[in-house]
């Protein structure tokens, strides 16, 4: 089971893991209604290293990104669900719209993001590369998204 932690703790943890020559993978998202697409994305992300840290958007940042009706599940529930997954080692909640500051603090070896982005369109790519990290893109599973799930419920 993974650990839910705060920003200052995850920075210390990451520094210690790097001293132990562990490869740190970082990804982030809202993970509002956990679905198979999320699970497979996290499974693929974990394959790139020893430790997977998930940056989780806070409730306030999800609202800014997704609209006033979101999130469906609050940040503590979303964090607990993520931490319970076998692939996830650490979960840290962040309240900014972008994880750039958190990435700059953790300095992961690998940053994973969905393949709907490219190096050119990914805002965090520059900060990852500046800190010596590499960006890896994970393919999406068509039709699997929280937005689609909500739409399906609303259409019933």
Is residue 24 within 8 Å of 109, Cβ to Cβ? yes
Per-residue pLDDT of the chain (156 residues; tens, 9 = 90+): 899 999 999 999 999 999 999 999 999 999 999 999 999 999 999 999 999 999 999 999 999 999 999 999 999 999 999 999 999 999 999 999 899 999 999 999 999 999 888 899 999 999 999 999 999 999 877 666 666 676 777 777
> What is residue 144's predicted lDDT score, i.e. its pLDDT?
61
Do strands 24-29 and 51-57 pair parallel, antiparallel, or not at all (unpaired)? parallel
* pTM, 2 dp: 0.93
Sketch out the chain's domains with CATH numbers: 3-155 (3.40.50.620)
């Amino acid at each position: 089971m993974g650990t839910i932690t705060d920003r200052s703790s995850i920075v210390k943890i990451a520094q210690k893991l790097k001293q132990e020559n562990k490869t740190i993978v970082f990804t982030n998202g809202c993970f509002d209604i956990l679905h198979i697409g999320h699970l497979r994305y996290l499974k693929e992300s974990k394959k790139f290293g020893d430790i997977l840290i998930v940056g989780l958007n806070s409730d306030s940042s999800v609202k800014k990104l997704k609209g006033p009706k979101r999130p469906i599940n609050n940040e503590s529930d979303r964090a607990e669900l993520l931490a319970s997954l076998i692939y996830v080692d650490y979960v840290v909640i962040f309240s900014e719209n972008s994880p750039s500051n958190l990435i700059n603090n953790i300095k992961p070896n690998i940053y994973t993001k969905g393949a709907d982005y490219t190096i050119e369109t990914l805002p965090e790519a520059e900060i990852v590369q500046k800190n010596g990290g590499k960006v890896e893109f994970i393919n999406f599973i068509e039709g699997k998204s929280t937005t689609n799930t909500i739409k399906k419920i609303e259409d019933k």
